[in-house]
A and B are shown apart, each in its own frame.
Chain A
Amino acid sequence: MTLKKLQPLGRFILQIPLWLYLIVSIYPLIWMISYSLKNNDEIFVTNPFGLPTHFRFENYVNAWTQFNIPRYFLNSFVVSLISTVFILILALMFAFAVARMRWRFRSAARTYMIVGMFMPLQVIMIPLAILVRDFHLTNTYGALIIPYIALGLPFSTMVFYGFLMGIPREIEEAACMDGASIYRLFLRIILPLALPAIATVTIFQFLNNWNEFTLAYILISDENMKTLPLGLLFFQGSYSTDWGAMGAVMTIASLPMVLVYLLLSEQVERAMTVGSAVKG
């Protein structure tokens, strides 16, 4: 065989690691979905690896009705939605004032906001828990929504700031000339222009808040206030007895975010990794 004929083979061999890692990355999830459709006998004895031969959808019915899943979904949705909306409003207003308006302490205000980006959650965890207790917010939506908004601000502000700095200055001059008030300028001109940045921040913050675990674990103990990541944790005890239902619960809980990702994969990847541009 000549060297030329060997080249495609070499290329194929070189690409093997990529496809091997694809299996490592995806197979655990396929395994989870397939055991969510089996009964214990099939999972443990007859068919541990393969696809289910008989789809046992009753696992899903059990998961949805026996556990508190609908409630966890509702809580996660309410908390993530409200905190994301407020992050967008507050961060965009702040970024607008710092990036476009003229006043003395704008660069100091910006630096002050950046500091928060480098504060690990661990250092504020304890005083925050006490603050939440003293404000009598424990076991309310506010216990999560208010910290999530505050924690989301530094990063979101910086994304908006970077975006708003790139808009030409002539826009304000034109708006001023036409007699538009500054509020009108913000709502009618800046807000529509910032839509791409708003999409990025929305995806990033909604996903983060939806999956947030540590604060929720510390601040919420009431069963009815638990968000999904927290609620799922307490199925641990029932694990060994009914893997099928457990798999169904985890599959249901993962589905919304995986679907969002599959629909908007490029945008989600960009939103999640935009931090490298902001922090770097």
Chain B
Amino acid sequence: MNKYLGNKAALALFLLPALILYSVILIYPVLQGVFRSFYEWDGLSTATFIGLDNYKELFGDPLLLTSLKNGALFALVLVVFQIGLGTVLALVCANPRTRGRRLLKTAYFIPVVLSVTVVCQLWIAIYDPTNGLINRLFEMLGLSYRQNWLSSPTESIIAIAFVNAWQFMGYQFALLYAGVKAVPEDYFEAATIDGCGKWRAHWHVTLPLMRETYKFCFTIAITSGIGAFVQMLIMTNGGPGTTNYTMTFMIYRYAFMESNYGYACAVSVLLVLISLAATMIINRVFDREQTA
């Protein structure tokens, strides 16, 4: 058996294609990215080693502060909207008396399978100051609350984050709904029989048992907030000015518009470190609640 399942030629045939491709296209660029972050490099000529200079420059870069702030704001919108509202919807939907569950789930999930380009352009139309859906709606209701949604610095980042939150709501909802369903119903019933109100029972019984689901949902929402890019690129091109910049936008600009590859690599390394730190903190927070 050992000889049969240790066939060297078969092993090489099964392993090597995936290993080679994965190493060359994924692992090598990761290492190369870290390595190049210590160089001054335009992508063509020979790079010069400059130690930590890129990082020193990065911490003085005003764009970094804007990007971090926008990333945090983006993540916050995703957490509040997708996880906050998503949890309420999942709890109500999981109630055995709710009708039309399949229809609701399907309707929530449809935007997930759309192309991000379609979604962004649709929302450009919705946010359009004169003919867009939202301003027309206000007009119809007789309100004079017309906004130029995508051209004010702070509102636009929230408006853009909302587009992402809207598109992937169905995804988080599906996870949360599966999480609620995985909690044995007896637990919840026992709590309500003991005189606990429904929402209190959910708060003290259902939600704590969904720890693993929340760990994953928070990780997805926060890391995609920190790494956000495509929506800004399509909807406002990072503007007005540089007010809608995020870290990925910085990488894109420094590398592909200014050919400052070394510096862009430093930004990408910092982005990965921040994402990893966020993931670790989320894990720590949810594990601590388990022991408490």
Binding site for B on A (CB under 8 A): 11, 14-15, 17-19, 21-22, 24-26, 28-29, 31-32, 35, 43-44, 48-49, 90-91, 93-94, 96-97, 100-103, 109, 112-113, 115-116, 118-131, 146-147, 149-151, 153-154, 157, 172-173, 176, 182-183, 186, 207, 210-211, 213-214, 217-218, 228-230, 232-233, 235-236, 239, 243, 246, 250, 253-254, 257-258, 260-262, 265, 268-269, 272-273, 275-276, 279-280
Contact = CB atoms under 8 A, between A and B. Distances in A.
Given A103-B6, A109-B15, A207-B113, A124 B33 contact: yes
Given A94-B14, A258-B113, A131 B118 contact: no
Contacts of A154: 22, 26
From A103, A121, A246, A273, name the one whose CB has the most chain B CB atoms within 10 angstroms. A273
Interface string B210-221: 001101100100
A124 B261 CA distance: 12
Query: Which label, helix, strand, loop or mixed, suits the secondary structure of the B interface?
Result: helix
Interface of B: 1-2, 4-7, 10-11, 13-15, 17-19, 21-22, 24-30, 32-33, 36, 43, 85, 88-89, 92-93, 95, 97-99, 102-118, 121-126, 131, 133, 136, 140, 166, 169-171, 174-175, 178, 212-213, 215-216, 219, 223, 227, 229-230, 233-234, 247-248, 251-252, 255-256, 261, 264-265, 268-269, 271-272, 275-276, 279
Contacts, number: 272
Nearest to B223: A120
Contacts of B133: 28, 31, 48-49
Contacts of A275: 216
A265 B114 contact: no
A261 B5 contact: no
Given A25-B111, A127-B29, A269-B105, A122 B121 contact: no
B69 to A, nearest CB: 18
Contacts of A44: 131
Contact of B113 (A127, A147, A257): A257
A183 B13 CA distance: 10
Of listed A29, A122, A125, A207, residue having the most chain B CB within 10 A: A122
Contacts of A173: 1
Given A25-B108, A101-B5, A157-B18, A127 B28 contact: yes
B6 A21 contact: no
Contacts of B275: 120
